Amino acid sequence: MNWQGELNKYLASAYKNWITSKRNIFTLFELFFWPMISLLSIGLLTRFLKVEGSMVSFLLVGAIALTILQVAQIDVAYVLLFDMWSKSIKNTFIAPIHSYHLVFGATLFGILRGSVVFFILAIVSRYLFGFDFQEGGLLPVLIFLAGVFATAAVIGIIVCISILTFGQKADVAAWSLSGMILLVSGIYYPVEVLPPLLQTLARAIPLTYFLEYYRSVFIPGPHHLAIGAFLAVFYLVLGLILFDRAIERARRTGILLRLSE
Amino acid sequence: MTKKPVEAKGICKRYKSFLESSTTVLQNISLDIEEGEIFGLLGPNGSGKTTLISIFSTLIYPEQGSLFILGMDARRDNGEIRKVINISTAKPNFPWSLTVQENLRHYGMLYGLYGSALSRTVGDQIDAFELGDFRDTKFENLSTGLKQRLSLAKAMLNHPRLLFLDEPTTGLDPDISIKTRMLIKRIHQEQNISVVLSTHYMPEAEMLCDRIAFLRKGQIVALDTPRNLKKHLGLGEKVVVSYEGPADIRALESMPGVLGVKAEKGRLEIMIDRNEDSLDRIIKLFCNARILDITIKEPDLEDVFLELAR
């Protein structure tokens, strides 16, 4: 098979997610309603508490990071969730594909949707709260977004693995894992305020490092971007290996059939 | 040398789930399927047909046994196998909000089709399965028959050398079932592909299959051509005689070539072996009676099924 055929295998899940999303009115809620609610509520809270400028940026960066993380990770999870909900999972896995074909296309679409959300929230936060995302230039923004999207892909992969391991009950993971990130990754507070055990957990999550890096543009301080980048790549590779293993396991246990019934 | 579509030896499958006891679904299944044939898997519900077809199509793996599909090891070469096989199942499901064309396009992409080849293949399948009027209809709005046609069209996207059909007419109206069977026959003839078909509809198996394996409780209890199955099971022809007057039923039962007699008032159902000269002798037995009606019926697979499912 030539490269165009191989590329289309990667893009198949992006195509499916795109068609499904554009026909679903609730996509608008995912793209506009919830992100705006999240940004406005945090922004207005900073006004009420008369938070100083650097802290406003600290909180808004966290709110926006969490929002685009949720949008992008659900797109990766949708690659199996849509199949599971429509009971068509066996049609996907009878095709000659690997986990990376599914994850790549879905992540690509997640990046597209996440970028749209980021663009909207960046404009709104600038005009309503005077927060300029490009204050440190374009490069820090791109690095920050790359970290968020990589973390989103990892979470999406974990959801997919959970579905193939535990079946339909596991779809709750699609929404609860980002809640875990909210708690421990320093979205609204520095990880130093966490108990030691949770701090260790926070240090194992790439987003923690990307948040620290991007915030250092507004509030000078130390960051360990290289560790975050290493962790992101490590988890992505490990996630894809485990995803393939989960597919093999699902073929052994027969869960692929049960998910199609 | 041509490679057999399926070579299975000692296939076993158990389903295990957490904190629950395991269930044996298939035991020691061994069979070969020849190139170009339509091979039927028959059996009552729960006999293991779907599990076996899922194993042959590499959707799930067996626990024991060796399996070669088109000469390739089902475990080691499953990626290569999936390029040249496909499946259509009962009660087909596809992403709901995608139209017929979008679904075919999506699955075509998963098979590595692109550009004009993708558009042409999708268009060809839409035409071949008469889905043109429903090209832009979402899957969720299709009738059951149209969903089945879409499933067959999807199964032909990669021009498979081996096609698996798991109860393709289950749940369809009789007229749609007949149409679907004709479609399957046409695909098989035009594309010269090997087909493994599971069903519990005997007329379907009789109409389509070159050979049949009967499964019961996860084991093959018989495997042969429909004709030989009927012959070997001693299911001879059925002679139904309606009569008035005396008939010596005991003499009939002990007559050579008579395999069984079912007597009701004024009516006899006699199973005979046509190789014997039994029909003539039977008629002579009614010399003191008046025969009102006599019909001779070949046994069908329904009879075989009932015999084997006991």
Q: pTM for the whole thing?
A: 0.84
Q: What's the complex ipTM?
A: 0.90
Whether residues B84 and B226 share a domain: the answer is yes
Residues of A in contact with B61 (CB under 8 A): 248, 251-252
Res. B304: pLDDT tops 80: no
| Mean pLDDT, rounded, for B202-219 | 88
Interfacial B residues in 13-52 facing A (CB < 8 Å): 13, 15-17, 50-51
Res. B98: pLDDT tops 70: yes
- B300 is a domain residue: yes
Whether residues B151 and B39 share a domain: the answer is yes
Contact B102 A19 (CB under 8 A): yes
The verdict on A252 touching B (C-beta cutoff 8 Å) is yes
Mean pLDDT, rounded, of chain A: 91
Whether residues B75 and B222 share a domain: the answer is yes
Q: Which has more pLDDT, B23 or B139? A: B139
- B148 is a domain residue: yes
Whether residues B217 and B195 share a domain: the answer is yes
Helix (H) or strand (E) holding A146: helix A138-166
The verdict on A19 touching B (C-beta cutoff 8 Å) is yes
Q: Are B132 and B123 in contact (CB under 8 A)?
A: no
Whether residues B254 and B223 share a domain: the answer is no
Whether residues B207 and B224 share a domain: the answer is yes
The parent domain of residue B169 ranges over: 34-54+71-230
Whether residues B244 and B108 share a domain: the answer is no
Kindly report, residue by residue over A20-68, the tens digit of the pLDDT: 988 888 887 888 888 999 999 999 999 999 888 888 999 999 999 999 9
Listed residues B210, B230, B250: the one ending a domain: B230
pLDDT at position B291, please? Answer: 87
Whether residues B178 and B222 share a domain: the answer is yes
Kindly report, residue by residue over B135-159, the tens digit of the pLDDT: 999 999 999 889 999 999 999 999 9
Output the domain CATH number for residue B76.
3.40.50.300
Helix (H) or strand (E) holding A156: helix A138-166
- B21 is a domain residue: no
The verdict on A38 touching B (C-beta cutoff 8 Å) is no
| Mean pLDDT, rounded, for A117-134 | 91
pLDDT at position A218, please? Answer: 87
Contact B95 A93 (CB under 8 A): no
- B19 is a domain residue: no
Contact A88 B93 (CB under 8 A): yes
Task: Name which of A41-45, A143-147, B118-122, B203-207 the model is least confident about.
Answer: B203-207
Number of domains present in the structure of chain B: 2
Which chain A residue's Cα is nearest to B57?
A: A94
Q: Report residue B271's pLDDT band, with 50, 70 and 90 as the boundaries.
A: confident
Listed residues B206, B230, B254: the one ending a domain: B230
Whether residues B106 and B146 share a domain: the answer is yes
| Mean pLDDT, rounded, for B274-302 | 77
Res. B275: pLDDT tops 80: no
| Mean pLDDT, rounded, for A79-92 | 91
Listed residues B230, B258, B273: the one ending a domain: B230
Whether residues B243 and B257 share a domain: the answer is yes
Whether residues B45 and B189 share a domain: the answer is yes
Whether residues B98 and B121 share a domain: the answer is yes
